[in-house]
Structure 1
Amino acid sequence: MTLLTDLTFRLRARAHPDAPPCACPTRTLADRPDATVVRHAGAVAKAHAPGTPPEGLVPRLRTAAHLPEILLAPLTATPVPLHDRLVTFWPYGTPVDPDAPDEAPWEAAGALLARLHRATPPGPLPPMRGPAKAARAVVRLEGRPHPAIAPVRRAWERLPAWARGEAPMPDGGLCHGDLHLGQLVRTADGWRLIDVDDLGTGVQAWDLARPAAWYACGLLPPEEWHRFLTAYRDADGPALGGHTDPWAALDVVARALTVQTAARAIAKSRAEGRALDEVEEAVVDACGRMSAS
C-alpha cells in the first residue's frame, strides 16, 4: 500500500474502534513531502516529516495533552510508525476560513499565544524549531541562480547567529514555533492551536514574528495587526518584555521571518517556472530594504 492508502485505512479504524467504519468520505487535507494529513469523520491522522525523531515528537505530544485548553490534544499519547514515518491521531477542528478575512480570529490567536507563553510544560522539551526552519529555507537557495537571491542573503547575514540557527537561542519559555492563522482550529470548546512539530523552548517573540513581518511588509492591515497585538498584551503575554514599543522585541524575529518567507517564495516560483507574484515581490523588496539599512 502507499502511505496515503495505509494512512486512510489506519484512520478509519481509529475513528471507529468499536464499530464498522461509517460510509462518510475520507478527505486528504494535505499531501506534501513534510506532512500528509487525512480526515475521516471526527478524526484526523498526520504522517509527520520523514526523519522526525520520536524523542522530539513524544514530549511535544505530551505537552499538547497537558494543555488541552490551549493546544488541541492528541487522541493517542505516542506516535505510530508507518512507512518509515511517524503518525499521530487528532480530533478534527474547523480551520480558519481563508476566504473570510474579516472574520479572522486575531483576538483568539493573541490570547491563546499569551496563555501558551505563560504555561509550564510537563517535562523537558527540545528547542523551538523556528530558526532551524528559517535556515533550511535559505539553504535551499544554494546553487540555483535567481536575481532576487542576493538581497535575501544579505538580509539573512545581518541577523544574529541564534536567529540563523547557528547558535543556541537566548533563554526563553514555551513557544509554538510556527504561529499563523492556519495553526488555529475551532472545536466545541473554542479555538485551539494545532501542529506541535516545532513546539519547544526558546525566544517567545518568534511566535509573533510572522504577523509582525506581514504587517511590516504591508501584507497585514494595521487594524488586524493591532487586534492581535492588543489581545496578546491584554492576556499578559510575556514575549514583549514590558516594552512600550513592541519592535524592541520584534525587530530581529520579524526580519528573520521576512527572509524565510522570501526564500520560500523564490524557491516556489522557481519550481513553478514563473516570475514572483505581487506578494512575493513585497517580501523580497523588504529584504532589500533590510539589507541596506
Structure 2
Amino acid sequence: MLEEALRRYPDARDWIAGRLGEGCQCALLNDGEVNRSYLLEGAGERLVLRARWAPEAPHGVDAAVERQVLRLIDGADFAPETLLHGEGVWIYRYIEGEVPDGMAVRAPEMLEQIGALLRAVHDIKAPDLPSQYLPQVLAAMEERVARTLERLGGDPVLRAGIERLRPKVAPAIEAWRAGSSLCHNDPHAGNLVRAPAGWKWLDWEYANRGSTLLDSVYFCQQHSLTYEQSAIFLAAAGCGDAPDEEIHLMRLLAEYTDAMWTVLLPNPQPRQEG
C-alpha cells in the first residue's frame, strides 16, 4: 500500500524509510476526491501521509499555492505539526483526538471555540497568494444568485429582502478579491480534530487568501446553523456582532459559497436539503 501511495513521490519514500524504517506499517485513513491519507507507524512514531492521487486536480487546488500555505501555517497552534511537504505530498505528526459530530458543533461553547480557531487562521496575512480561479467563481456566483431570485419569485417578502441586501453582496465579493487574510476555504466538522492540546484544522488544499466573511459563512452553511447559532459563530470568528440584517446577508452569501463548489469540484453532487 505504501509503495502505491508513494510511486509518484520517491523523495518522500526515502524520507519515510530513513525516519520510520523500511518495515513501517501503513493503513489507509481517508480516500478523498483529490488526496488519500495514510497512517504510518514505525520507530515509535505515528505519522500521517497525505498524497495527491487524482490525475488532474480540480480548479482551486494548486500544488505551488498549497506549499506556500503549509509554510505559512507551519508551527501554528491550529494546524498539525508539519514534518515534510512537497508538491502533492504532506507528512505531519498524527493527532490523537476525535473528529466532532456535525450536530455537536452547534453547541454554543463549541461554536465559540471553533470560531476563534478560524479567526486565528484569518489573522495570518497572505497578500501574495494568488487566487487564479476567482473569475470563474464570481461568474458562477452571479448565475446562482439570479437563479435564487427566480426561485423566490412567488414569495414577495423573501424576494424583497434579498433584493434589498443584494447591493451589499458586491462589496463582500470585492472583499474576497482584495482580501489579504489566509482562508481555509473548506472549514467544516470533518476537517477538524479535537485533541488534548486543542482544536486542529486539517486538509488545507483549498486554502488561499480571501474574505474572512465568506470563509466563516461556509461553516454556517455546512452545518445549517440557525440565525442565533450563526451570530455566535460569526462573532467568535471576528466578523462582528452580526445584526439580523447581516445574518440574512449571510444566507444570501451561502448561495455564493455553494456556487464556489460548482467551480472547484469536477463532478459536484446536488446538495441534500434538510
* Class of the TM-score when normalised by the shorter of the 2 chains: 0.5 to 0.7
Unaligned stretches of 5+ in structure 1? 81-85, 139-149, 270-278, 283-293
Match of 1:45 among 41, 45, 49: 49
| Percent identity over paired residues | 21
- Correspondence for 1:114: 119
Give the Å deviation of 1:112.
Answer: 0.9
Give the Å deviation of 1:180.
Answer: 1.1
Any conservation in 2 of the 1:129–1:198 contact (CA below 8 Å)?
A: no
Any conservation in 2 of the 1:175–1:203 contact (CA below 8 Å)?
A: yes
- Correspondence for 1:254: 254
Give the Å deviation of 1:62.
Answer: 0.9
Match of 1:62 among 62, 71, 77: 71
Deviations 1:56-98 (A, max 9, x none): 2221111121x5223324212x415xxxxx2121222235143
**CA separation in 1, counterparts of 2:89 and 2:6?**
13
User: Is structure 2 residue 210 aligned with structure 1 residue 210?
Assistant: no
**CA separation in 2, counterparts of 1:251 and 1:97?**
24
Describe how 1:135-150 pairs up with structure 2 within 5 A.
none
**CA separation in 1, counterparts of 2:233 and 2:192?**
13
Unaligned stretches of 5+ in structure 2? 151-162
Describe how 1:174-193 pairs up with structure 2 within 5 A.
174-193=182-201
- Correspondence for 2:148: 155
Deviations 1:174-216 (A, max 9, x none): 221221112212345321212222222221111111233356x
Any conservation in 2 of the 1:155–1:259 contact (CA below 8 Å)?
A: no
> Structure 2 length normalisation: TM-score?
0.64
Aligned length: 241
Which amino acid letter does the alignment assign opposite residue 129 of structure 2?
L
Cα distance, 1:257–1:35 mapped onto 2, change above 3 Å: same
**CA separation in 1, counterparts of 2:247 and 2:17?**
49
Deviations 1:2-49 (A, max 9, x none): 8437479987765563453566552241243x2222222321122235
Which amino acid letter does the alignment assign opposite residue 60 of structure 1?
V
Which amino acid letter does the alignment assign opposite residue 17 of structure 1?
G
**CA separation in 1, counterparts of 2:171 and 2:235?**
28
Give the Å deviation of 1:113.
Answer: 1.0
> Structure 1 length normalisation: TM-score?
0.61
Cα distance, 1:247–1:36 mapped onto 2, change above 3 Å: same
**CA separation in 2, counterparts of 1:220 and 1:261?**
19
**CA separation in 1, counterparts of 2:38 and 2:89?**
11
Any conservation in 2 of the 1:128–1:175 contact (CA below 8 Å)?
A: no
**CA separation in 1, counterparts of 2:29 and 2:49?**
10
